[in-house]
Chain A
Amino acid sequence: DAGVIQSPRHEVTEMGQEVTLRCKPISGHDYLFWYRQTMMRGLELLIYFNNNVPIDDSGMPEDRFSAKMPNASFSTLKIQPSEPRDSAVYFCASSFSSGNTIYFGEGSWLTVV
């Protein structure tokens, strides 16, 4: 079975540019999560969705970050404008409501210069 699929795997962009990260959850999963991993702060939950609806976005750092889930098989995390401090690994993960295990994608390595 295909796991959580993220793109791009690596992105280098200049400060001020818009960045869009994409995620395809595991088919049938109804929860989707966006995490950010940095050396300083570890793994942080940014936002999660249930049945395509954002449930908790309290982890989104600021208005420059936005996330959408237009359908059950696709989500985006957008940063506009990007800043060097946004450099991190961004993970998408998904879960099935009657289960309790989160499955992670391989991550998107973002570098903002």
Chain B
Amino acid sequence: AQSVTQLGSHVSVSEGALVLLRCNYSSSVPPYLFWYVQYPNQGLQLLLKYTSAATLVKGINGFEAEFKKSETSFHLTKPSAHMSDAAEYFCAVSPASSGTYKYIFGTGTRLKVLA
């Protein structure tokens, strides 16, 4: 069975400060891991994904995430927050095997950027 836990349903940071959004996963098989972003009244957009290649994954808009198997974590970071980063962020996991597409999403973290 797989699951995803996102710690903190709301996170506030000042503009220019470090963004850290936490994601821990549980998976009985090697996972693929994803971060999606959802802007108000829009669909989900892929930020980045881990598919068993490099453990440090770089995504769009300056975001990156590091896969740490020992900690079962896939935290999302950005060195300097911008006002345009205000959105909801979802972590997702899926089994790294063919034939199964049951992506499991976390409950989301809403990021607020303060001026």
Contacts and interface: CB of A to CB of B under 8 A. Distances in A.
Given A100-B32, A100-B94, A45 B43 contact: no
A101 B48 CA distance: 10
A97 B42 CA distance: 25
A31 B107 CA distance: 23
**Chain A interface bracket (under 10, 10 to 19, 20 to 34, 35 or more):** 20 to 34
Contact of A102 (B42, B103, B108): B103
A23 B50 CA distance: 28
Interface string B20-41: 0000000000001010100001
B49 interface: yes
A64 B111 CA distance: 36
Contact of B43 (A95, A97, A106): A106
Contacts of B32: 100
Interface residues of B, number: 22
Contacts of B101: 31, 33, 48, 50, 55, 95, 102
B45 A104 contact: yes
Interface in A97-113: 97, 100-107, 109
Interface string B47-65: 0010100000000000000
Contact of B102 (A42, A45, A97, A107): A45
Contact of A104 (B41, B43, B96, B102): B43
A105 B96 CA distance: 24
Interface of B: 32, 34, 36, 41-46, 49, 51, 90, 94, 96, 98, 101-103, 105-108
